[in-house]
Amino acid sequence: MMAAPAQTVGQPPNRKLTLPALKSLGQLAEAQPCIETDFREQAPLVFTRLLSVRAALPEGDYGIAGVPDFRIERKGTLDELAGCCVGSNRDRFERELNRLRPYRFRRLLIIGATCERDVLTHPYRSAINPRCVLGSLFAWQARFDLPYVLVPTPKMAARLIETWALYHCREVVQSANGLLRSYWRSAKARIPTVDVGGEPEPPEPPE
């Protein structure tokens, strides 16, 4: 599900960011999430703790290889965000946000601020009212059930995406392990035990 593709960018993976060691899932316990960066990203984030590849994503800017329910929409600056708040750009951007609804994990990640006050005090290149920018964030969060996150630098944005990806994949792996354990329990319940000398009982589910 999350085996590393042949072509990767960035530094070698940090082995500390691994998934739960669940023996019942075989080699998956030794795998790492692999970040997918959309081809349309002109200044892609640099990931140093996880592998990353370029990919054609139908929605969003960042995803996880083999995990279809994770998407991050990124805005590289507050001025880029402001450009999505007015006119036809707003209509187009809202359609993009609406297409993120089916994804279980979705975030609007904005670089260049640490809090709402930064959004209000930023010297925008356009004549937009900063309150319009902040109000748009609140509206999109409510309308599309899409949390927004503010980070000051691209480096911090990359580390945050890596952390989100790791913990999201941990949940996926643990859910798969729970499903497998439930199968073993139900299989044992369906197969009757026999006297000594017959066929052995089904083995206990692996830990």
pLDDT tens-digit readout, 30-79: 678 999 999 999 999 999 999 999 999 999 999 999 999 999 999 999 99
Q: With H, G, I as helix, E, B as strand and everything else as coil, classify residue 48.
A: coil
The H or E element containing residue 52 is strand 51-55
Q: 């609406």: which residue's tokens?
A: 98
Q: Which residues contact 203 (CB under 8 A, 6 or more apart)?
A: 184
Is the confidence at residue 206, as pLDDT, over 90? no
Q: Are 64 and 35 contacting, i.e. CB atoms less than 8 angstroms apart?
A: yes
| pLDDT value for 28 | 64
Q: Out of 25-29, 66-70, 184-188, give the one with best mean pLDDT.
A: 66-70
Query: What distance in Å separates the CA atoms of residue 27 and residue 83, rounded to the nearest whole number?
Result: 45
Q: Domain for residue 18, yes or no?
A: no
Look at residue 55 and give its three-state secondary structure: strand
26 within domain boundaries: no
Is 108 a member of any domain?
A: yes
Residue 1 has pLDDT above 50, yes or no: no
Is residue 62, in this structure, part of any structural domain at all? Answer: yes
In single-letter form, the type of residue at position 49 comes to R
In a domain, 19, yes or no: no
Average the pLDDT over 99-111 and give the result: 97
Give the SS3 label for residue 150: strand
SS3 109: strand
pLDDT of residue 32: 87
**Sheet-wide strand order for 34-38:** 51-55, 34-38, 62-64, 67-75, 105-111, 148-151
DSSP 119: H
Task: Quote the percentage of the chain above a pLDDT of 90.
Answer: 64
178 vs 28 pLDDT, higher one: 178
Q: Which amino acid appears at position 124 of this protein?
A: Y
Full residue range of the structural domain in which residue 90 is found: 34-113+126-175
Let me know if residue 3 belongs to a domain.
Answer: no
pLDDT, residue 177, reads 76
CATH number of the domain enclosing 105: 3.40.50.10130
pLDDT score at 120: 96
Q: Is the pLDDT of residue 99 over 80?
A: yes
Query: Within a domain: residue 162?
Result: yes
In a domain, 70, yes or no: yes
Closest C-alpha among 154, 10, 141 to residue 80: 154
Give yes or no for residue 137 having a pLDDT over 50: yes
Residue 5 has a pLDDT of: 45
Task: Render pLDDT for 114-132 as a digit per residue (tens, 0 to 9).
Answer: 999 999 999 999 899 999 9
Give the chain's domain count. Answer: 1
**Banded pLDDT at 24 (limits 50, 70, 90):** low
Residue 98, token pair as written in the block: 């609406």
pLDDT at 50: 95
Mean residue pLDDT of the chain comes to 85
